[in-house]
């Protein structure tokens, strides 16, 4: 597949994954291998630098880029602190900014996210902010230095797909930074649809981690992402209301 460049890093897979919700952490390396995912998000809280528990990082191969997230942050300031701790802990320069105060739908706080993005981008982080797909905000995120925008398709963990389809389409058409659809993608068809719309990548966690066979599901999503991307490159034809025959319709036996 064609390459995606993000934070100076070249990705040949456009499927980003996550570490949450796996029945056993031993699925993580299997899923990564089966899916070919080259970027995985991890909640900093799960990174046990003290070493008492087995560190989640030990399940992630070296060639996979870490995307620490600021899960648990309720303000820009908290997100900034978590990001700095992540960098000091050796998690690299990528950071997914996630600021959430609504505990029912886990909807991101777009404004706090914008503030944290501005601060962290100025400090040299490669910032990927998780947001409600708001075109005006997305343009502002670009201005303050976001490396990409990560709009949600549906609330985290719901597997409902692209409820916000039309709002995401506006971001895709108008943003100059990559658009990565994150949250809500529950089936490979949802991932393919996002890529057909023109998303640059998708992040899938729950749907893979909670499948009965997460490795096989990871592979399924990677194929769907590539299918959607290829279809966009191969240029799809439009839709129509009336039928258009594939086969000659004049009476065969005339």
The residue whose two tokens read 């990559």 is 178
Task: State in angstroms the smallest separation of the CB of 21 from its own copies.
Answer: 6
184 known ligand binder: yes
Q: Residue 150: CA atoms inside 13 Å, Cβ hemisphere, count?
A: 32
Reduced to 3 states (helix: H, G, I; strand: E, B; else coil), residue 213 is coil
Closest CB to its own copies among 8 and 183?
183
157 known ligand binder: yes
The residue whose two tokens read 């066979």 is 213
159 known ligand binder: no
| Chain Cα centroid distance, residue 189 | 15
Binders in 10-49 for its own copies, by CB under 8 A = 18, 20-21, 43-46
> Where do runs of H (alpha helix) occur along 148-213?
165-174, 188-197, 206-209
Partners of residue 42 on adjacent β-strands = 68
Part in contact with its own copies (CB under 8 A); list of ranges 2-10, 53-61, 73-81, 87-95: 73-81
Q: Is 214 in the site for its own copies (CB under 8 A)?
A: yes
Of 48, 123, 142, 213, which one interacts with its own copies (CB under 8 A)?
Answer: 213
Site string for its own copies, 124-163 (x = CB under 8 A): --------x-xxxx-x--------------xxxxxxx--x
Binding-site size for its own copies (CB under 8 A) equals: 99
Query: How many Å is the Cα radius of gyration of the chain?
Result: 19
DSSP state of 244: -
Of 36, 193, 200, 202, which one interacts with its own copies (CB under 8 A)?
Answer: 193
Q: What are the backbone dihedrals phi and psi of residue 10, each rounded to the nearest 5 degrees, phi first?
A: -100, 125
CA dist., res. 216 & res. 210, Å (int):
12
Closest CB to its own copies among 92 and 158?
158
Q: Which residues are part of a known binding site for 1-deoxy-D-xylulose 5-phosphate? A: 157, 183-184, 205-206
Q: Report, as residue numbers or ranges, the catalytic residues.
A: 96
């Amino acid at each position: 597949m064609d390459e995606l460049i993000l934070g100076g890093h070249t990705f040949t897979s456009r499927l980003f994954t996550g570490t949450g919700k796996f029945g056993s952490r031993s699925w993580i390396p299997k899923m990564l291998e089966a899916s070919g995912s080259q970027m995985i998000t991890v909640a900093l809280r799960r990174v046990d630098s003290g070493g008492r528990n087995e560190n989640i990082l030990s399940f992630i191969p070296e060639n996979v880029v870490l995307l620490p997230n600021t899960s648990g942050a309720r303000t820009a300031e908290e997100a900034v602190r978590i990001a700095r701790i992540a960098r000091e802990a050796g998690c690299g320069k990528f950071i997914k900014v996630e600021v959430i105060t609504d505990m029912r739908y886990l909807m991101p706080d777009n404004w706090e996210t914008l503030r944290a993005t501005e601060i962290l981008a100025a400090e040299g982080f490669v910032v990927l902010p998780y947001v409600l797909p708001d075109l005006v905000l997305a343009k502002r995120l670009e201005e303050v230095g976001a490396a990409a925008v990560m709009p949600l398709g549906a609330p985290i963990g719901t597997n409902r797909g692209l409820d916000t389809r039309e709002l995401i389409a506006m971001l895709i058409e108008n943003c100059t930074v990559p658009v990565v659809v994150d949250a809500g993608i529950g089936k490979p068809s949802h991932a393919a649809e996002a890529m057909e719309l023109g998303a640059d990548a998708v992040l899938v966690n729950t749907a893979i981690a909670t499948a009965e066979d997460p490795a096989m599901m990871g592979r399924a999503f990677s194929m769907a992402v590539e299918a959607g991307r290829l279809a966009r490159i191969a240029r799809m034809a439009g839709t129509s209301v009336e039928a258009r025959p594939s086969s000659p319709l004049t009476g065969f036996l005339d």
